[in-house]
Amino acid sequence: MKINPGIIGVVIIAGLSVALVRSCSEASNLQSENDVLRSDNSLQGQVIATQAFNFNRFNQVAEHANRLNSLIDTSTEETVIEYREILRREKTCDLPVPADIAGGLLKYAHRLRASAMHTDSNGPDTADDRAVATNSMTYCQAVLWIKPLLAVIEKGNNNFAGIRQIELERKN
């Protein structure tokens, strides 16, 4: 039996055509996968850039709040010193606040202090290094509490303002 060279040529051409179609299909799939990977890389780059920007912005807002809070602390200390000088000359300074009022205020202060304490007992709480209040309170002691308490509220408001600012920027 004799094989016709034309048939061999057609079979070879058909085989090469099938191989070419498969190769083109694989190249197309590889190109598609490559495009998906490029897109993913681009999206990841955008996410990383956004996170870096947000971290930087959060740090700036926190630093600003800390600077404001330091100024508040300094002003509060100066005011308390000034008040002490004024109150030193007051004759009624040593009069006690009624026991029920003083006890209520002191219990409230101790409860707030206890709720703010860390569970880590390895070191002292550096947030408040003043002496613990006694069980009685004079009018002058009460007056000296006012400015530091208002300063704590103002510092908290500064921190919350920073948080609100960040949230507004994130929404826009």
Encode pLDDT of 89-114 as tens digits. Answer: 888 888 888 888 888 888 887 887 78
Confidence of residue 123 (pLDDT cuts 50, 70, 90): low
Q: Is 21 helix (H, G, I), strand (E, B) or coil?
A: helix
The two structure tokens encoding residue 4: 């016709």
Q: Rounded to an integer, what distance in angstroms lies between the CA atom of residue 11 and that of residue 8? A: 5
The answer to whether the beta carbons of residues 154 and 73 sit under 8 Å apart is: no
The answer to whether the beta carbons of residues 156 and 68 sit under 8 Å apart is: no
Domain ranges of the chain: 57-115+132-172
138 Cα distance to chain centroid: 40
Confidence of residue 129 (pLDDT cuts 50, 70, 90): very low
Confidence of residue 4 (pLDDT cuts 50, 70, 90): confident
Would the pTM count as exceeding 0.95? no
Q: Rounded to an integer, what distance in angstroms lies between the CA atom of residue 70 and that of residue 76? A: 10
